[in-house]
Amino acid sequence: MQLQGRLATGLPNHLFTRLAGRVGLRLAHEPCRSEDDLYNIALRTDWFNWFGLQHTFRVDLTLLGAPYQNPRFAQLRLKDGVCDAFIKQLGTRPDVQIESPDVRIFAAATPDMASLYIDLAGENLFKRGWRLEKGAAPIKENLAAGIWQTALKNQSDT
């Protein structure tokens, strides 16, 4: 689901949502049909307003039917585009850190479009950490909340 609005209005949403897995600020949404297109979108995106050289970052990519032969290569091209954008603008780049980065970038690619986001919530929201002890669960909390909300809505409609 995508919502539109001001950043200041949207930030509280990730504190109170029970349904979202991630909350991100979309920085780019462009036609994309190849790994090189993905690289060029990242290269044109203005990352400098959102984080600097002193921050570490991580890039994740979800393919929603995009016909890339190697998803890992596509993710690396995306990361290269972010790094090269910094090098082009500032002459150097921030470091990549897989575990606990300062900034998370995630992208979704369909067969003909790609969207790039800065993650506003960090870890997936179902991992918010309010439980000290964790156990096996049959489904994620946000999925259970969505099922519960749908059931309540259906009950009120009858």
pLDDT tens profile 126-135? 555 555 566 6
pLDDT (0 to 100) of residue 154:
72
pLDDT, mean of residues 53-68: 93
| Res 2 pLDDT > 60 | no
pLDDT (0 to 100) of residue 6:
62
Element of type H or E holding 84: helix 71-90
SS3 103: strand
pLDDT tens profile 23-57? 778 899 999 999 999 999 999 999 998 999 999 99
How many H helices and E strands in the chain?
A: 5, 4
The answer to whether 32 and 114 are in contact (CB under 8 A) is: yes
Instruction: Supply the CATH classification number for the domain 19-122+138-157.
Output: 3.30.2130.30
Domain spans, the chain: 19-122+138-157
| Res 86 pLDDT > 90 | yes
pLDDT, mean of residues 84-110: 94
pLDDT (0 to 100) of residue 16:
59
